[in-house]
Amino acid sequence: MDTCQIAWADSLSVGDGHIDSQHKKLIGLISSISEYIPKPKDKDVMGEAVEYAGTHFGDEEAYMAKIGYPALAAHQTEHKRLAIILMGYKKDFNEGRINMFSFKQFMFLWIRDHIMDTDRKIGEFLRETPESRYGPAE
């Protein structure tokens, strides 16, 4: 697998302060996951990252609904797809057959690509739709 540094970069900004801050937190949680043979405590770190991803997705979906974002349903489908994959990883962890390095890389790359492609469109919508009551934060 192609590897990369798991860290926030300004190039990941979608142009909305609230969404960006949640993405930063999520990437921070992913980067704190152990890359090695999982120990029992790693279950909590992994669980926290997975749980926060769910919280963030719910929040982002509520925000899209609030601003009348037209591609909400397709965006939700992407979130659901990741949630299903993460359930599989949790099962693998519980059964002791997870590769933490692969998990970490997968989760970061998924989030990064999702931000760059799908989440960015929320920021574009806010900029291009002046009638939207909620403009991007700075």
**Tokens representing 125?**
């919508």
Between residues 16 and 60, which has the closer beta carbon with respect to Fe ion? 60
Q: Which of 6, 112, 119, 126 binds Fe ion (CB under 5 A)?
A: 119
**Subset of 48-67 contacting Fe ion (CB under 5 A):** 60
Nearer to Fe ion, 42 or 119 (CB): 119
Instruction: Draw the binding track, 5-44, toward Fe ion (x: CB under 5 A; -: no contact).
Output: ----------------------------------------
Structure tokens at 107: 């989760």
Q: Smallest distance, Å, CB 130 to Fe ion?
A: 23
- Give the nearer residue to Fe ion in terms of CB position, either 90 or 121: 121
